[in-house]
A and B are shown apart, each in its own frame.
Chain A
């Protein structure tokens, strides 16, 4: 475990170096923005809408007291979505989708000697393969999370349109009440850290693969498991650091 962590640190030292050719790096960077970011927008939008709707319905059903105004539904949905659901749950979803993709892509390159080929050419394979993925995710995941927040809030609003649990006016009034801009900053800081964890851990798992197809599959699973565990752990640490 400790030796693996040491290997991860050594790999990261190779990843965070000046790219061999900036022109090639920028090309890879935008390819990864598309592969890891834009291609994830569909699933993020769907999950966010349903997530916001479910939180809204559950909150509305739990407000029994006539002393609590129904605009609290909008307030609760906003706080839940911004503070936790969008940054953490969507990052966990991305750990599954993006993490397995990165680990299997790099792992396959390892077992088919493509990484050796890069090394023979004098190219730093860790930097060439992992650095654009890490930077693209750290730049674009905040955009995904902001979009997710928007769709989450829309999900809660749709409940007001299709049910009589609360009115659209009450919901929107709730969303606008007691808003603190810092919650968005907190969510985005978490997102950037989670993006780094997902891409670096998955890249590492793929990079150290030895063997064949079975080992690539195992690396992909390990990437998702370890990324998820680290997201949960760092969620606790960052929440304590940023909100206490």
Chain B
């Protein structure tokens, strides 16, 4: 479980996160949704320690992440997998080397063992024959799947996904959503997904946190999100022509 307690974040005089308290539960796909510029990416970056919070603190289980030293954080980070919006695969490495990278850095496994783990992860994301390809040879969907394989190679307890379906066609986006959901359930991970894709929200949103103007505005699940009376959330959920008509 991950908890953010009364966290605030400022950029100069601009307060981007305003006293947010939110809990992300184990074994569930926790979604952070909101309009562009609402502060959800900043929230995720604060959670993983890429940005420091100015007020409040973040807990990973019973460990206070905000008060840890660099060395202590390193231990927690070995338990974190992250899927970046663009994949963030290392250009100079093949798919196999990308997925193997965390294992090379943090384990003393033999090459055979590492390859076995890489094959397992790539099979999980349905990319059995992609080992020797370079990131430049992959499609958008394949890039995201390799990034997922890399994120899970160390068997993480926590998985963070920053807009995992952005830039993908609806079918491929569905495949990515399914993968994230299956991973969360099967490996009992605490998954935090930052998205504004309503298909993802309805499909995999076990717990949804709606961020509006830097504040936690609403919390619920995928059923409640469609029936809520909250005006700002309704405006967000039913903003497209398709969802308006369906409503």
Residue-wise interface mask of B (65-79) relative to A, using a CB-CB cutoff of 8 A (1 in contact, 0 not): 000000001111110
Q: From B104, which residue of chain A is reached at the shortest CB distance?
A: A24
Q: Is A121 on the interface with B (CB-CB < 8 A)?
A: yes
- Give Cα A122 to B84, complex, Å: 15
Is B85 at the interface (CB under 8 A from chain A)?
yes
Q: Are A122 and B91 neighbours in the complex by a CB distance under 8 Å?
A: no
Question: Do the beta carbons of A114 and B50 come within 8 Å of each other?
Answer: no
Provide the main secondary structure of the chain B interface: mixed
Docked complex: A70-121 residues within 8 A CB-CB of B:
108-109, 112-114, 116-117, 119-121
Contact of B105 among A112, A113, A119, A121 (CB under 8 A): A121
User: How big is chain A's contact interface, by range?
Assistant: 10 to 19
Residue from B48, B90, B101 in contact with A120 in the complex, judged by beta carbons closer than 8 Å: B48
Q: Which of A10-56 contact B (CB under 8 A)?
A: 20-21, 24
Task: Map CB proximity to A onto B165-194 as digits: 1 under 8 Å, 0 otherwise.
Answer: 000000000000000000000000000000
Q: List 25 A-B contacts (CB under 8 A).
A: A20-B105, A21-B104, A21-B105, A24-B104, A109-B90, A109-B91, A112-B86, A112-B88, A113-B84, A113-B85, A113-B88, A114-B89, A114-B91, A116-B50, A116-B88, A117-B82, A117-B84, A117-B90, A120-B48, A120-B80, A121-B77, A121-B78, A121-B105, A122-B76, A122-B106
In the complex, B140 has a CB within 8 A of chain A? no
Report chain B residues within 8 Å CB of A24.
Answer: 104-105
Query: Is A117 within 8 A of B88, CB to CB?
Result: yes
Instruction: Name A106-140 residues within 8 Å CB distance of B.
Output: 108-109, 112-114, 116-117, 119-123
Q: Are B50 and A121 in contact, with the CB atoms below 8 A?
A: no
Are B88 and A122 in contact, CB atoms less than 8 angstroms apart?
Answer: no
- State the A residues within 8 Å of B (CB): 20-21, 24, 108-109, 112-114, 116-117, 119-123
Kindly list chain A residues whose C-beta atoms are within 8 Å of the C-beta of B160.
120
Say yes or no: B86 contacts A120, CB within 8 Å: no
Q: Within the assembled complex, what's the spacing in Å between the Cα atoms of A67 and B157?
A: 84
Top 8 nearest A-B pairs (CB, nearest first) are A122-B77, A113-B88, A117-B88, A122-B74, A120-B82, A113-B84, A114-B88, A122-B78
Q: Which residue of A lies closest to B101 (CB)?
A: A121
Could you list 16 further interchain pairs (A-B, Cβ under 8 angstroms) beyond the known A116-B84, A117-B82? A21-B105, A24-B105, A108-B91, A112-B86, A113-B85, A114-B88, A114-B89, A114-B91, A116-B50, A121-B102, A122-B73, A122-B74, A122-B76, A122-B78, A122-B106, A123-B105
Q: A112-B88, A113-B85 are in contact. Are A120 and B104 (CB under 8 A)?
A: no
In the bound complex, how far is the Cα of B50 from the Cα of A117, in angstroms?
10
**In the complex, what distance in Å separates the CA atom of A122 from the CA atom of B48?**
11
Nearest Cβ on chain B to A108's Cβ, whole angstroms: 8
Which residues does chain A contribute within 8 Å of B84, judged by CB atoms? Answer: 113, 116-117
Q: Do residues A120 and B50 form an inter-chain contact, with CB atoms below 8 A?
A: yes
Nearest B residue to A114 by beta-carbon distance? B88
Instruction: Identify the closest chain B residue to A23 (Cβ).
Output: B104
**A113-B77 contact, Cβ under 8 Å, with A20-B105, A119-B50:** no
A120-B101 Cα distance, complex, nearest whole Å: 13
Residue among B73, B82, B105 having the largest count of chain A Cβ atoms under 10 Å: B105
Q: Please, which residues of chain B bring their CB within 8 A of the CB of A112? A: 86, 88, 91
Within the complex, the shortest CB–CB distance from B83 to chain A, in Å, comes to 10
